[in-house]
Amino acid sequence: MKATRAFVLVAVVVLSTITAPAAAAGSAATSTSTSVEATQPSTATPLPQVETGTDEPTTNGTIGYVEGYWYNDSLPADDRDDGVLEEDELEAVVYRAMARVEVIREKPFQEAVSVDVITREEFEAENGDMFGEFEDDERLYHNVRFESLFMVDRDTDAVEEYKAMYDSSVAGYYDPATDEIVLVSDTPETPATNEVTLGHELVHALQDQYVGLESNENETRDEANARNGLIEGEAVWVDTEYEDRCQSEWDCVLPDEQRSEEPPQLNWGIYFTVFQPYDDGPDYVDYLLEQGGWDAVDAAHDDPPASSSEVIRPGEEREPADLEIEDRSTDRWERLETDEGPDYSSFGEATMAAMFADGAIAPFESSVVGAGEFVTFDDDGYVADIDYDQPYTDGWAGDRLVVYATDERTIEESGYVWRTEWTSDSEAEQFLDGYLELLDIHGADPVDGRQDTVVIDDGYPGAYYVDHDGTTVTIVRAPSVDELPEIREGAAPAGEDTLVFEDANETDGTDERSGADDESDELPGFGVGAALGAVLIAVTVARRR
């Protein structure tokens, strides 16, 4: 049996900061969510058998019973094609959904949860307030960060790219600040309710009632992905089992799926970064269940994974190296800090894999990791799986990026130092090979007389110095070659290259890199022209049971 779910977001993600939209809201900003179809839940832990004949059941003391509704009750709204509910019908569906989540999760809710259904237009109107106002330093900081990943170019605003992704992708969210779930409907005239999406968000409400979801302050991107691997992994695991039961034994409110004929206008690099916990998280939770059932999942909330690497490969411990970047800049440059988190970024393995795969599924764009390496397609051309375990990044041991700016506080007068640590010399070389190819993709030209230094003119303009020392690769970027040693003393020294740089201007006109000008019929999902393939990839993720 194959289940298909829209390639959309449905979880708890703080929108007040794009530094680390993690699985909790710690400010007045509304948090938002995401979800996607997960792997088949393990059968190692049997689900509880709940009897409807229990004497005097109570909402917070009986698994499978909430406010007068049992998990296996039938409702008048079941199997309604459009999923449109009146207010009293929505209340009944919510209570029954809570009871069903209790049965799967083996834990009762402590109190009822408020649910609202709004249109996408309403969500987009409110989304701006969710992101809040960004000070100039904060906006500059985020733009430099995403430039360093080659995900948002010089002419594009990273904050707006991030906001646009949520505008088009979010299917629902849970707000820990108000204990409220909001479902986002794509049918503006008659907002529809999807019971499986509701089930996903109810898992977040249950998590919040027991462990709290408002403690994500000062998280880096990697810490956010790691924590979300547990929080979202649990929610996707449960909603997958929920959907299975809707297709086999439960009557459910599931509106007919409507697929857009136009691909969403997403920044795929950013999307792949945020999406990783929903793809790998269910496998991580499945691993915990095999180790010790739901007690092991509960214990993990007290000791969450330390890095996205631990979510990508469950059972592997990968505590990030404690990296420090001493300030070796001139007085003209200063390290840029923001009020919302630490004065550095740590991207982690998941984000760095997304960096190398950005462009992989976009027609006529190049990427270091191609579509055939990053995504698996089913027989119908839909994405069946995304593989964040890539050779270029699987030896990650830690990374830290610090942003520099002058008094001008402009993107033109900004730079960064990005230090990455790897588990071995060979793993560092693997990453280095991928990064040099990434520079080549974006038109880097070697600088004569300067060691391991290149210049990019368009898209991501500036001078780049790459230093490889054993297990460490350090990247320095500045507006010009002369300013590289001003941001980092010793950068871009005089001498010959020790690394192999390709000259983008010395090609024969063909591009054999991964993802570049692929023939449209070579990959599933790219038949009948690249545009249709993009729709198939962008709109749906399929999972085989």
pLDDT of 378-435, one tens digit each?
777 777 789 999 999 999 999 999 999 999 999 999 999 999 999 999 999 999 999 9
Pair 353, 252 in one domain: no
Q: Of the candidates 502, 366, 368, 499, which has an alpha carbon nearest to the alpha carbon of residue 440?
A: 502
Asked if residue 516 is part of any domain, the answer here is no
- pLDDT, residue 256, reads 78
Could you tell me which residues are beta bridge partners of residue 371?
Answer: none
Pair 293, 370 in one domain: no
| pLDDT band of 514, cuts 50, 70, 90 | very low
Helix (H, G, I), strand (E, B) or coil at 289: helix
Asked if residue 134 is part of any domain, the answer here is yes
The total number of structural domains that make up the chain: 2
Pair 263, 364 in one domain: no
Pair 269, 381 in one domain: no
| pLDDT band of 50, cuts 50, 70, 90 | low
Domain boundary pick from 261, 280, 312: 312
Domain boundary pick from 487, 509, 529: 487
Cβ(122)–Cβ(173) below 8 Å = no
pLDDT, tens only, 154-182: 999 999 898 888 887 888 899 998 999 99
Residue tagged 């190819």 (tokens): 437
Asked if residue 525 is part of any domain, the answer here is no
Looking up residue 381, the CATH number of its domain turns out to be: 3.40.1000
Pair 157, 267 in one domain: yes
Asked if residue 215 is part of any domain, the answer here is yes
Pair 133, 277 in one domain: yes
Pair 289, 341 in one domain: no
Pair 341, 401 in one domain: yes
Pair 298, 369 in one domain: no
pLDDT, tens only, 211-239: 998 765 557 999 999 999 999 999 999 99
Task: Transcribe 433-468 into DSSP letters.
Answer: HHHHHHHHHTT-EEPTTBTTEEEE-SSS-EEEEEEE
Asked if residue 322 is part of any domain, the answer here is no
Mean pLDDT (the chain) is 82
Task: Transcribe 111-128 into DSSP letters.
Answer: S--EEEEEEHHHHHHHHH
Structural domain including 483 reads 334-487
Pair 173, 112 in one domain: yes
Domain boundary pick from 454, 487, 520: 487
- Contacts of residue 264, defined as CB under 8 A and 6 or more positions apart, other chains included, come to 168, 169, 538, 539
- pLDDT, residue 83, reads 87
- pLDDT, residue 517, reads 37
Asked if residue 209 is part of any domain, the answer here is yes
